[in-house]
A = this chain, B = another copy of it.
Amino acid sequence: MIMQGNELTLIVFSNDLDKALASFVIANGAAATGKKVTMFFTFWGLSVIRRPEKLSVQKDFMGRMFDMMLPGNAGKLSLSKMNFGGAGAVMMRKRMEAKSIEQLEAMMAGALKAGVHMTACLMSMDLMGIAREELIDGIEIGGVASYLEAASSANINLFV
């Protein structure tokens, strides 16, 4: 029998801008109320935590394919609806600015500063050929076991 404490985990599976925003609004809100927050970035979600700078990482053919096809970093995410080839994402960002809502990159920096644990899924990194140095600073690396350990002591466990 495990008793749950004041903890929250999020699996960020998606690389949609809207879902990334929702994830960080929840994560930062929870951190602000003193909860221990752990975010797991897996599969397409790895795009959210990649560095904007291109690094000269040696990649195999499939790794180069993923690089070409997937958004390179948080600044290049699309909306899951109404994206219109990127115009929707640009308008959403402008709208957020007009409404004084923090942009995704600021939310991410805020999360790290607030002590939110951000973990990249090792199996997904291997699958997509993403190297550790391609991720932004402050990211831990872990597998499903480390997710389950964090989730076991949390009662708010979301899959986004």
- Chain A residues within CB distance 8 Å of chain B: 1-6, 8, 11, 13, 15, 18-19, 22, 25-26, 29-30, 33, 35, 42-44, 62, 65, 69-70, 80-82, 91-92, 95-96, 98-99, 101, 123, 126-127, 143-145, 147-148, 151-152, 154-160
- What is the bound-complex CA distance between A6 and B149, given in angstroms? 11
Residues on B with beta carbons closer than 8 Å to the beta carbon of A6: 1-2, 152
- What is the bound-complex CA distance between A81 and B42, given in angstroms? 14
- What is the bound-complex CA distance between A3 and B1, given in angstroms? 8
Q: Once the chains bind, are A151 and B144 in contact (CB under 8 Å)?
A: no
Most chain B Cβ neighbours within 10 Å, of A5, A42, A157, A160: A157
Nearest CB in chain B: distance from A14 CB, A: 9
